[in-house]
Amino acid sequence: MKENFVESLKQHIRQIKMTRWIRFILVSAVFFFWVILMGNPWLSLLWLILLDIYILNIIPWGWWKNKKGPIRTVMAWVDAIVYALVLIYFIFAFVGQQYEIPSSSLEKSLLVGDRLWVDKTIYGARVPQTPIHFPLAQHTLPILNVKSYIDNPQLEYHRLPGIRGVERGDIVVFNYPQGDTVAVKIPNPDYYQIAYELRKEGITDPLAYMKSNSSIFGDIVVRPVDRRENYVKRAIGLPGDRLRISGDTIYINGKAIAEPENVQYNYIVPVSGVIPEEKWKEIGVRMEDRGTAPIYNEVAGFSFYDIPLTAAMKKEIETWHEVIGPLQRESQSGFYELGDIFPLGANYGWTRTDMGEFWIPKRGSTLHITPDNYPVYERAIRTYEGNDLSMKDGKIYINGKETEYYTFKMDYYWMMGDNRDRSADSRFWGFVPEDHIVGSPMFIILSLDQERSLMNGKIRWNRTFANPNPDKGKWDK
């Protein structure tokens, strides 16, 4: 029987047309080039599937094509859907994908409702670390409300060659660094901010407390890097930079850098009465930012709005007859709070507008760790780079050995939003590791104003196919 099978297989191979051999050779060449780029030799085993499909035909892949009736119809649809999902998987993983702006942290550079095409090739596509996942869902399947991925296998971080690295001023999409642990019912503030606040209230084991109060916090889930929430911010600090913030001005290596043209800051706007909604819409202040009515200050005896404004918007508002006094920058103890400043619990006295100078880790560079800078780099060394890190009696231990030095394995970035006082960014959760970087927006596919109807300007036609980062190239000058 074995001899008959071998003879039959030889006969089958002899009958294969030359054109099919050529297609097989070309596909194989492309496949092995892809394996080399992926940096994972185990993937070469998948070539056996190509060998069988094109040459051997041991597995009857197209068995259903000889059937009649509903089986053939159903399998034709299944075949088409599988091919479509595989194609989408590869496009989303290695080329780019659509991303919607959900919050105002980058306004007015990017608006809530902008739908972007994110280019993954510019920095080099990241090989999926969680390869078995549904390509149209980040971490949860809608309706079913279950995980959209299988935890194992987990692949090591590897990135394909890119066009260039992250540059200062780039708008970057990345996986949320502190999204590794999530309280499902309270995703914002994140798990670490919640745990920090619970400790301040005297709860010594926040995780146990959250698990015992699942009706409030939901399940506590752990997510792999590439299945964490997608965030979009502007790259301000690059690997190896020394960064500080003083009075809203950002200094890189001692030099003040430019701001985005449409950077926003929060202002207190004193008013007499309610400013008409259409006035706000004309200058682009969303209801979510301004509220439905002004706030009344009983002590001062006047009403006011607390809103983010660009310099141009501020200049326009100052001419309105409803405004009864000068606009004031909101103080640190103002009405819009985002949580405590990075690093949590360090007591450096930093605020979102004033942070002392620190160094941004760079791959291959060695840091002298001290008790003073330990809080800044603790999470990067322990969580992002996978070390056992501790400090006892002022001495630093990494993987059980006392040391004062650590050499970083990855590059790190400092990301901030253009809506400075309403952006939960690196000032609150620290560095973004290179293995969290997804890509950069190439263009705006579609922009929908969530506060307008379809017949009243819902589609922002002027933003369709627009450059999402017109400020690029104005940095470090």
User: Cα dist. 141→177, 221, 226, 232, 328 in Å?
Assistant: 22, 15, 15, 22, 45
Largest CA distance in the chain: 99
Which token pair is 454?
Answer: 């379809």
Q: What is the pLDDT of residue 333?
A: 47
Residue-wise pLDDT for 181-237, tens only, equals 999 999 888 999 999 999 999 999 999 999 999 999 999 999 999 999 999 999 999
Q: Which stretch, 267-276, 370-379, 449-458, 464-473, has highest mean pLDDT?
A: 370-379
Q: What is the pLDDT of residue 110?
A: 85
Q: Which of 447, 356, 373 is nearest to 109 (CA)?
A: 447
Residue-wise pLDDT for 159-171, tens only, equals 999 999 999 999 9
**56 by DSSP, 3-state: which?**
helix
- The span from the CA of 330 to the CA of 61, in Å, is 66
Which token pair is 442?
Answer: 């190439």
Are the CB atoms for 272 and 322 separated by under 8 Å?
A: yes
Better-predicted residue by pLDDT, 210 or 64: 210
b/e sequence 259-284, b meaning 16+ C-beta within 10 Å? bbebbbbbbbbbbeeebeeeebbeeb
What average pLDDT does this structure show over 431-449?
A: 94
* Tokens 């090989």, located at residue: 127
Cis amide linkage into residue 200, ω under 30° from 0: no
Statement: the pTM of the whole predicted model exceeds 0.85: yes
Q: Which stretch, 22-26, 48-52, 130-134, 358-362, has highest mean pLDDT?
A: 358-362
Which token pair is 31?
Answer: 């496949």
What average pLDDT does this structure show over 422-436?
A: 95
Q: Which residue blocks in 52-147 are alpha helix, DSSP H? A: 70-94
b/e sequence 220-245, b meaning 16+ C-beta within 10 Å? eeebbbbbbbbbbbbbbbbbebebbb
